[in-house]
Amino acid sequence: MEAIISYKIAESIKLSELKKAFPSGVLFSSEKELFYQIRKMQYVSILSYGIVCFYNVDENKMGDYKKRILPFCENVITKDKLEEFYVDYGKEEFKYFYHKIEMPKPNLFVTRLVMFHVAQSLALTCYFEQVKEILEQTNRHTSMMGKRGIISLKGRTLKMFLGKNLQIKNQIVENLFIFDTTPGTDADDMNVEMDSVMKEAASQYIFWKAKFKIDVDHGMKEGLIMKYRAEMIYEEIKIIKEQIEFFNETLHHSTSVKLEWVVIVLVAYGVIDIIISKIYFLLLAS
């Protein structure tokens, strides 16, 4: 059984610059992904959204590779977030689980595909944690409003919460392939580059896919419950958005009421001033 360990090390990684600096060993590349061979049956997949995924690599070598990648990272995360997954060979058929895949024998393209989805799974976990944190914060403000009738979330802070919320949603849509076909799984995919060894492995996988009805892309998404987890995040994003819109509408209503009272007071002051002026002139005339 081989281990796949995925780390979130930064918000993003500049893949094009990394590839220029380290062109040797690249077996697969796309806009979102660089896949390197370290040694025989040792690989590293680097994703543009800040995740590095290792296959059958010892801890010291993983540390060395992370240090090599850090200069190309933006907004480095001080404490790594990780996810582990396992590949069990020698089985009669493909079976997918949340932390394991069973399969008959190794295939380089399938290994790359499994690593890609493990990275996607970790990204989803990180996005879920961010959304959960924002939801907890907005819930505290909602609770305060219920107890004291005071909206403490307003102005710049309100806009910041809304911005974070929308940013997470946009990152999921932009970076993850939960509802779409994963890059490289189609024979006519023109947006990827493959080494000859990877092309041969991809051809074998496409043959398996057609003859034996094997779809690792779909199977990994099902095993890792990707769609359900993404829908949970979207639902929480929707709740946060509704809360923020409620705060915003309440603040606007409160401001409108204040303006109305200011107008009323000013009009009343003007009327009173006119009445006093008329009374004054009448008294002078008499």
Instruction: Write down the domain spans for the chain.
Output: 2-142+153-270
The residue among 120, 117, 123, 128 whose CA lies nearest residue 233 is 128
Task: At 86, list the tokens.
Answer: 């396992």
Answer for the pair 75, 9: CB distance below 8 angstroms, yes or no: no
201: Cα within 13 Å, side-chain hemisphere = 17
pLDDT at res. 50: 94
282: pLDDT strictly greater than 70: no
Q: Which CATH class is domain 2-142+153-270?
A: alpha beta
251: pLDDT strictly greater than 80: no
Q: Which residues, 6+ apart, have CB-to-CB distance to 217 below 8 Å? A: 113, 117, 181, 182, 185
Answer for the pair 140, 101: CB distance below 8 angstroms, yes or no: no
Q: Which amino acid is at 136?
A: E
Average pLDDT (27-37) is: 93
Helix axis angle, 155-175 to 226-285, nearest 10°: 150
83: pLDDT strictly greater than 60: yes
Tell me the whole-structure pTM to 2 decimals.
0.81
